[in-house]
Amino acid sequence: MQLVELLNRIPVLEIHGNNDREVSALVFDSRKVTEDSLYVAVKGTVADGHSFIASSIEKGATTIVCEDLPENLDENITYIKVKDSSKTLGQLASNFYGNPSEKLKLIGVTGTNGKTSVSTLLFDVFKNLGYNSALLSTVEIRVGDEIIPATHTTPDVITINQILAKAVESGCEFAFMEVSSHGISQNRTEGLHFKIAGFTNLTHDHLDYHKTFDEYLKTKKRFFEELNENAIAITNVDDKNGNVMLQNTKAKKKSYALKTMADYHGRTLEVDFNGMLLNFNGKEFWTTLTGKFNVYNLLLVFGIASELGFQQDEILQAVSTLKRVSGRFETFRSDGGIFFIVDYAHTPDALENVLDSVNDIRTKNERLITVFGCGGDRDHSKRPEMGNIATKKSTLAIITSDNPRTEDPAVIIKEIEAGVEPQNFSKYTSIPDRREAIKMAIKFAEPKDIILVAGKGHENYQEINGVKHHFDDKEVINELWKLMSK
C-alpha cells in the first residue's frame, strides 16, 4: 500500500523524508519487521518501542511512526511524528486492511462478566438465522465455520483488522467481538467502527491492572464515549453502572433489565437445571440455558438482534435452539446421580451469581459442594471476598489452586481463607492440588448432590511457574468418576 493512502484521516505532527513510498507490512513488534515495513514505536507498560527504531531500520523498515523523533535522522527513512503512537497504530491498521469494520456490522460486548457468553450466543443466533458472521472472543475466533485459535482477551489491533478483513472477504455481514478493559486501555479497539456496543455489568476484577475500581469503570466507559452518533449503546440498567456508561456517549441509547423499566424487559417464569421458561417483551419461550446471569445474557442478545432490525419472534425462535457456551454453567449428571457443573466464574460477582443460581434451583435436599481457587499474579483483594461467598453459599467449599502462575498456591489459599467468617469455618477445607480437590468432592458427594467446579471453565491448562500444563476440569471429573465408581 502507498504511504499516502495509509496516512488517510490520520493526524500527523511532522513528516521527515519521502512520503511517496510503498509499505509492505505494518508492525509494532520490531522482531516482525520485514523489507519495506512501516514500524510503529509504541510506548508500552514493559518496553518502549522507540528503543527499537534503530534495529527495525537494520531489519528493513523504511517508514517509522513515533512520538519522539530520533536525534539522528537517516535520509533514506521516512519518519512520521504523531501525538499518540498507540492510537495511531489502530487507525493505520484499519487503513492498511481497507477499513473492514466499516464494511461489517461490528458489535462489541464489554463488562466484567458475560462478554464471552453474549458474543458467542450472538454468533450462534445469527448462524441459526442463516447469516455468515465472525466471532472474536476469549475462547475462540471464528470466521464463518473456520476456527482460529484465540490467545488474548482482545487480540492486538493489527490482528483484529486482519480477521475482520478476512470476514469481509468471506462474505460475512456481522462480527461479534468481546471487548476487554485491557483492550480498551491499550487502544486495541482504536480505529474500529462499532455499530452496537453492549454492556453486561461491572464488578470487582482486574484491579491488579487498573489499580482502582474508578479507573476500571472509566476504562469501560471510554468504549461508549468513543462511539459515533450512528452507533447504538445498549446497557444493563439493573447494574448501577449501566447508566454511567451512557453519560457522555453520542450513540443512540437503549436499555435492558429484569428489575426496572427498560426498552428490553425480561422475566423468569420457570427455572430448573434443564433450562428456563422466560418472557421477553411479552413473548414467552424456552431455553436450555439456566441461571439468572444467563437471563441477562440472553436479554442482551435479544436487544442487540432487535436493534439490528430482526423480528422478535424469529430472534426468540433462534435463541430457543441455543446450546450452552463452553465452560459456562455446563452441566452433566453422572450415572451415580451426582450432578456436576463446570463454570468459568473467577470473580466474586460471577461466583456469587453461579452459586445463587444453583441455590435457586436446588430443593435443599441436595448438598452443594464447591471446588474453586483464585489465579496467581492477579488482584489479591478479591481472594478473601471469594472465600466468604463460597463458604457462605455452599454446603462444603474446597479451596484449591486455579492458575497459580508465579505465586505459591499455599499463599493464595491463605488469602482466600482470610475471608471465611467464623461461623463457616467448619464448611470448608483446603487442598492445593486441583485434581485431588475434585477427587475429594466426588468422594464426599452422595447421589443427588451437586458439585460445582469453578474458575477455569473452558480452559484446558493450569499455569504453574510460567508453564502451562494440560488440565481440563471436565476431563478430570469424568476420569475420576470412572475410576472411583468401579
- What pLDDT sits at residue 211? 58
The residue to which cell 444467563 is assigned: 294
Backbone angles phi, psi at 32, to 5 degrees: -100, 5
- By the 8 A CB rule, do 391 and 421 touch? yes
Backbone angles phi, psi at 370, to 5 degrees: -115, 125
- What pLDDT sits at residue 210? 43
Distance between CA atoms of residues 279 and 228, nearest Å: 32
Residues of the chain with pLDDT > 90: what percent?
85
Burial class (CB in 10 A: 0-12, 13-18, 19+), 305: buried
Residues of the chain with pLDDT > 70: what percent?
97
Q: Which three cell numbers stand for residue 305?
A: 438482534
- By the 8 A CB rule, do 23 and 36 touch? yes
**If you average pLDDT over every residue of the chain, what do you get?**
94
Residues pairing with 80 in the sheet: 15, 65
How does pLDDT run across 433-460, given as a tens digit for each residue?
Answer: 999 999 999 999 999 999 999 999 999 9
- By the 8 A CB rule, do 218 and 110 touch? no
pLDDT band at 245 (very low <50, low <70, confident <90, very high): very high
Considering only 116-125, 153-162, 388-397, 453-462, which range has the smallest mean pLDDT? 153-162
Q: Which three cell numbers stand for residue 238?
A: 439493573
Q: Which pTM does this prediction carry?
A: 0.87
| Largest pairwise CA distance in the chain | 80
- CA 308 vs. chain centroid, Å, equals 22
pLDDT band at 151 (very low <50, low <70, confident <90, very high): low
How does pLDDT run across 106-150, given as a tens digit for each residue?
Answer: 999 999 889 999 999 999 999 999 999 999 998 889 999 999 877
Considering only 16-30, 58-72, 205-219, 363-377, which range has the smallest mean pLDDT? 205-219
How does pLDDT run across 216-242, given as a tens digit for each residue?
Answer: 899 999 999 999 999 999 999 999 999
203: pLDDT strictly greater than 90: no
310: pLDDT strictly greater than 70: yes
